[in-house]
A and B are shown apart, each in its own frame.
Chain A
């Protein structure tokens, strides 16, 4: 019996009573249809979407009016595009699971990517740091040592075995992507080891280096900051200078802003990509104009490789009051309101600019463009390996240092010992590994949400973390379409490391 695909998404177009968009969750179709056609499609929905494991689905746009009839020709088109199907909901879910599984297997056969943590130590003492205990509780002192050359050698030997596990033949000369993370990975005192890591990587083949750094000691790395060496940095700024200096402080309580700002300018002058992360909540969002003023005063907006992005602060510990936080949808909406009144703010990316950009690219190349589907939320579930100074291996940086979530270890001889259970826990998390996502029409556009945030909310890694995605997707696609028909230029400035 003909029915509406369980993976059909309805996108309302603001100020347009005639048309709306249909998007399909696994065929990749994007169509503009009359409300009459949309109402017809809606009328063939077999059942209400299931309730997620926590929270509520964002409501789909309500369609009013009598159920119309449409031509056979239109029905044929709707079937070819995927919006109508003869499959039962169960049969269609099987197709969805097979497709998603195939996508995941493809990802698991790609070249791995790496992060190296030279140390868990840091020169700042930000109160909200998730690793704060490592520097303030003496029981964790053993974690603060700096990686040693023998450990680096071991890790690079291990990379070859990991690549073989992913089907990459030894000696393939594929570029390795290696990020630095900490602690603070680019401390002045760590410079010899960072240099050693770069040398070791380039000895083995082409490599691309980037880092998440607080930016305080970059002056010690000036000659290593170049497009052929460390080419991209993410640096967090916590507000205008005076506010930043209250939050991102040295152990003696002094501020870090001036030093960081000087280093950002130096790095930009050296052709490095700088992505500023701005963590926002209801208390500090009002400071955005002040932050922009400072960016402009430094002239950073004139560098094409400078970008800044926003991310919501999460209530992940007792120091953060949940009432002060935004979810991603709320933050995006708050920023949209602010941006409407201040053109300078467009220097900063909103959280959902990537969704909008993806849709813009499809609309601007209708002959060939297809969406990118995310069968898993991030590369922690596919091909990322994080090594700490002890050659322990983790899948996600949010849990580094916690032995219970280690996915493995590089042994003395460079052999990889995987914790099969923990590794499988991470690598098998996809949109098919929990019942809410497998039935979700947005799943392949969303990826199921962050595993760590799902764990915090539900106690399980294999659970959905929706984060308002349905509303975010619909609003972003609608905005993209309106910009497309208005002929607005596609903005591509921007960069980010992690949405969470």
Chain B
């Protein structure tokens, strides 16, 4: 996981709205766990909301905040 600064260009022409991005060449198992939505994950008590694509009373995992 690479980290980027918030305001990055000297003329403020690029503003990163999330700081971390994946480096697809250097993925760790933890990286995969963080972003894996896997189609839909079925409902669990940790889901704040149902949503999405099919099968199961389910919820794509919210964006990882861990």
Bound together, the chains give a CA A307 to CA B59 distance in angstroms of 14
**B5 nearest CB neighbor, chain A only:** A77
Known: A29-B16, A381-B39, A499-B54. Is A366-B65 also a contact (CB below 8 A)? no
Bound together, the chains give a CA A95 to CA B44 distance in angstroms of 32
Residues in A with CB closer than 8 Å to B32 are 102-103, 106
A179 CB to closest chain B CB, in angstroms?
A: 6
Known: A99-B27, A103-B38, A379-B42. Is A497-B10 also a contact (CB below 8 A)? no
Most-contacted residue by chain A among B2, B8, B41, B50 (CB, 10 A): B50
Bound together, the chains give a CA A28 to CA B64 distance in angstroms of 11
The total of chain B residues at the interface (CB under 8 A) is: 54
Query: Contact between B39 and A497 (Cβ–Cβ < 8 Å)?
Result: no
Known: A95-B25, A496-B50, A497-B56. Is A362-B39 also a contact (CB below 8 A)? no
Query: Contact between A106 and B33 (Cβ–Cβ < 8 Å)?
Result: yes
Query: Contact between A357 and B49 (Cβ–Cβ < 8 Å)?
Result: yes
Known: A80-B4, A361-B63, A497-B57. Is A28-B20 also a contact (CB below 8 A)? yes
Query: Contact between B36 and A73 (Cβ–Cβ < 8 Å)?
Result: no
The total of chain A residues at the interface (CB under 8 A) is: 84
Query: Contact between A232 and B57 (Cβ–Cβ < 8 Å)?
Result: yes
Query: Contact between A32 and B65 (Cβ–Cβ < 8 Å)?
Result: no
Known: A73-B8, A77-B9, A372-B60. Is A210-B55 also a contact (CB below 8 A)? no
Residues in A with CB closer than 8 Å to B22 are 26-28, 82, 99, 370
A498 in the interface, Cβ–Cβ < 8 Å? yes
**B64 nearest CB neighbor, chain A only:** A370
Query: Contact between B17 and A21 (Cβ–Cβ < 8 Å)?
Result: yes
Residues in A with CB closer than 8 Å to B41 are 110, 379
A354 in the interface, Cβ–Cβ < 8 Å? yes
Bound together, the chains give a CA A376 to CA B36 distance in angstroms of 10
Query: Contact between B65 and A80 (Cβ–Cβ < 8 Å)?
Result: no
Bound together, the chains give a CA A24 to CA B16 distance in angstroms of 12
A265 in the interface, Cβ–Cβ < 8 Å? no
Chain B residues near A (Cβ < 8 Å)? 2, 4, 6, 8-11, 13-25, 27, 29, 32-45, 48-58, 60-66
- Give 27 CB contacts A-B under 8 Å: A27-B21, A28-B21, A30-B17, A73-B9, A77-B8, A103-B32, A177-B44, A177-B56, A232-B43, A353-B51, A358-B60, A362-B18, A363-B18, A365-B18, A366-B6, A366-B18, A368-B20, A369-B63, A370-B64, A374-B53, A377-B39, A378-B40, A379-B40, A379-B55, A380-B54, A382-B39, A495-B57
